Amino acid sequence: MASIGYTKDHEWIRVDGDTGTVGISNYAQGQLGDVVYVELPAVGKTIGKGQEVAVVESVKAASEVYAPMAGEVIAVNSDLEGAPAKVNEDAEGGGWFLKIRIANAAEFADLMNEEQYKAFLETIEE
């Protein structure tokens, strides 16, 4: 069964074995507004935890997407290039950004689970 973890920067990673699928949270896409462009990393790129891995642009702002865990990019969601609004429609599902081969599974322990993330959101929402 896949486990999901969240960062304070509103990224999520769904871990299944040694593969992690990365995207931004529903909260993040709501704050951004209508997503108009997504810049994805190259497959094969090695990324460190906390390193910028993608850029998402909306009608309001551009924002960096940071890696919740270190690894090698093994896939990107090329559907987003032609249909970036998928991020708004299904941020924590079909609007995923990239998949990585996880370098250090222990990093998952640093992430918030869904309940912790919801509690974190309550501390920042107006």
Each residue of 9-63: pLDDT tens digit? 999 999 999 999 999 999 999 999 999 999 999 999 999 999 999 999 999 989 9
| Residue-level pLDDT at 45 | 98
The pTM (predicted TM-score) of the whole model is 0.95
Domains annotated for the chain, with CATH where assigned, are 3-124 (2.40.50.100)
The answer to whether residue 126 scores a pLDDT higher than 70 is no
Is the pLDDT at 125 greater than 80? The verdict is no
From the centroid of its chain, how far is CA 68? Answer: 7
Burial of 82 (0-12, 13-18, 19+ CB in 10 A): exposed
In DSSP notation, 78-124 reads THHHH-TTHHHH-TTTTT--EEEEES-GGGGGGSB-HHHHHHHHHHH
Q: What is the pLDDT of residues 22-36, one digit of tens each?
A: 999 999 999 999 999
- pLDDT reading at 1 higher than 60: no
Look at residue 98 and tell me whether its pLDDT is greater than 60.
yes
Angstrom distances, CA of residue 21 to CA of 60, 96, 106, 119 = 26, 7, 16, 23
